[in-house]
Amino acid sequence: MDRDAAGDPGGTTVRQPASAAAAAATARPVILRGWRHTDLQFAGGVSQSRMRTFRPGHLAVDYTRTMMASLLWRPRPALIGMVGLGGGSQAKFCHRHLPQTRVEVAENNPHVIALRRTFRVPHDDARLQVLLADGAQWVRERRGRFDILLVDGYDASGIPAGLSSQRFYDDCRDALAPGGVFASNLYATDFADHLAKLRRSFGAGRVWMLEEARQSNRVAFAWLDDPFPEGRIDLPAIARQLPPRLAKDLAGEFARVAEAWRAR
């Protein structure tokens, strides 16, 4: 499905994928609309994204909030990269709450991008760009670019092979700016294999995973350099660097992550 930026209803900047046939073969998501939520699903009835009807910018799914704890590593990111748009939960949240931050998103499924208006993802502007692109290739082309890189790329069968290879994780490391942090969603997958690859890319002491209490998700963090002086997360100091509304919204997640960091 080819669209130029002017013709796309979501205002998306479109890059032609390497194979038009591959783009045409991507699965069409199913939209479930309820009074309280709108869900994006593929096969198996598992929701890949959820939007609250009356709070479209709210992070309604626990693991998405945990992934945003990457701000503890980099509370003032100039550029955040995302692999996987889905319903745009994190892109919307960052666009709303981080006015000094630019967000770039790679999504390889044109049918997902076509739902951008449905999920109220803002049009591209000076602070947001959504590209139709292969996530692995997109990351490979952006060495030293991102302060935060969030990976949540799934298709109908799970995490694609291209987003779970050793080369991909090496490229994620190389795509980070000095002091940068990576976070990924690991759902219904061999998380131990992903962690082993991340440790080979970042080093054993720079990879950490948290399990979600109410979901089958795990969030893996990996980072460059030494993120926290004296090895502890100083929440009050970090909160002062964040926009007040964001710090308040994510206070519970920040506290949970900081406590887990102390106990690790």
Q: Is 152 an annotated catalytic residue? A: yes
* Residue matched to tokens 């795990």: 218
Q: Parallel, antiparallel, or unpaired for β 128-132 and 207-211?
A: unpaired
Contact between residue 210 and residue 218 where contact means Cβ atoms under 8 Å apart: yes
Contact between residue 225 and residue 179 where contact means Cβ atoms under 8 Å apart: yes
d(CA 125, CA 182): 24
Among 133, 96, 120, CA closest to 10: 120
**Which residue out of 152, 155, 171, 249 is catalytically annotated?**
152
* Residue matched to tokens 């991008």: 113
Structure tokens at 13: 């900047």
Angle at 171 between CA 167 and CA 176, to 5 degrees: 155
Beta-sheet strand order (sheet of 47-52)? 30-33, 37-41, 47-52
Angle at 254 between CA 250 and CA 259, to 5 degrees: 155
DSSP per-residue codes, 164-185: SSHHHHHHHHHHEEEEEEEEEE
Catalytic residues: 152
